[in-house]
Chains A and B, each alone.
Chain A
Amino acid sequence: MSETEPPPATAVAAPPRMVVDARGSWCPGPLMELVRVIKDEPVGTEFELLSSDEGSRKDIPMWLEKAHHELIEVRPDSGFDRYIVRKTHD
């Protein structure tokens, strides 16, 4: 690549992000869904887990810490929360 040329906008590809809608699922359903998709998808995948289960607020960060995956962000929405997560290892 030439030094003078700016890199094309598409050079930094966003990691694939998968939405996992577990709203309405009872505890520990959203955690189970997350464990399942993290097991199945490749390293680097980002997940947006939607959960209306109040237990998820402690369960999800606790599990991610124990399993050593990354919790990027928790975004409260109306009646549910969005957990943005990255799979960091197999």
Chain B
Amino acid sequence: MSSSQAPPPEQMAVVLTESAADKLLPFATLVSGAVALGFRVDVFASYWGLVAFRKTPTAPSASVSPGHGEDGARLEAALNAPKAPSWKAILEMARSIGDLHIYACSQSMEVLGLKKDELDPLVEGVTGVATFIDRTRSATISYFI
């Protein structure tokens, strides 16, 4: 649905640098909430945030950041329960209902020796930081995770 009268959608920009489950789940939750509200969401996956998108033969079990003791163990158990949603499944659903774009940070690709075809298809391309900033210059919400 598009109209020449309609204002451009609001936009959210997210820089993801972490790969622990207790970062990825809030990340996927924020993204899906914004997409549900009609935001265009642009994600720059960098360093461990990019490694999180590396394809693996089987889904790795969720592991949380260290230093949370019993709470961390409880969260890990909850996230690895059979019916728990995976952060990637949440992103896939977000993309199916809205306007979500995920880019790989070109510097991280080079430093970590990653190739585009090693990444999950959710990642639509490799971009430099300036291109990401340019794409998100009108974002009204931005997060660094």
Q: What is the interface of chain A, defined by CB distance below 8 A to chain B? A: 24-29, 31-32, 35-36, 39, 59, 63, 66-67, 90
37-82 of chain B: CB within 8 A of chain A = 37-38
Residues in chain B within 8 A of chain A (CB atoms) = 1, 29, 32-33, 36-38, 83, 85, 90, 93-94, 96-98
Contact B36 A63 (CB under 8 A): yes
Can you name 4 extra interface pairs (CB under 8 A) apart from A25-B85, A26-B85, A66-B38? A28-B36, A31-B36, A32-B97, A90-B1
CB distance from A80 to the nearest CB of B (A): 16
Q: How near does chain A come to B87, taking the closest CB pair, in angstroms?
A: 11
Cβ 8 A contact of B36, one of A24, A25, A26, A35:
A35
CA A42 – CA B12 in complex, angstroms? Answer: 29
Main secondary structure of the interface of B (DSSP, over half): helix
A36 touches B96 (CB 8 A): yes
Q: How far is the CB of A35 from chain B (nearest CB, A)?
A: 5
Q: Are B33 and A36 in contact (CB under 8 A)?
A: no
Q: Which of A27, A28, A36, A67 has the most CB of B within 10 A?
A: A28
- Whether the pair B29, A28 counts as a contact (CB closer than 8 A) is yes
Known: A63-B36, A63-B37, A90-B1. A32 touches B85 (CB 8 A): no
Q: Does the CB pair B97–A35 fall under 8 Å?
A: yes
User: What is the chain B residue whose CB lies nearest that of A62?
Assistant: B37
What's the dominant secondary structure at chain A's contact region? helix
Q: Of B1, B33, B37, which is within 8 A of A66 by CB? A: B37
Q: Are A28 and B85 in contact (CB under 8 A)?
A: no
In the complex, which of the residues A24, A35, A63, A90 contacts B83, with contact meaning CB atoms closer than 8 Å? A24
* Docked CA distance A67–B36 (Å): 10
Best-surrounded residue of B38, B90, B97, B98 (most CB of chain A within 10 A) = B97
Q: Name the B residues within 8 Å of A24 (CB-CB).
A: 83
Contact B93 A32 (CB under 8 A): yes
Q: List 23 A-B contacts (CB under 8 A).
A: A24-B83, A25-B85, A26-B85, A27-B33, A28-B29, A28-B32, A28-B33, A29-B90, A32-B32, A32-B36, A32-B90, A32-B94, A35-B36, A35-B97, A36-B93, A36-B96, A59-B33, A63-B36, A63-B37, A66-B37, A66-B38, A67-B38, A90-B1
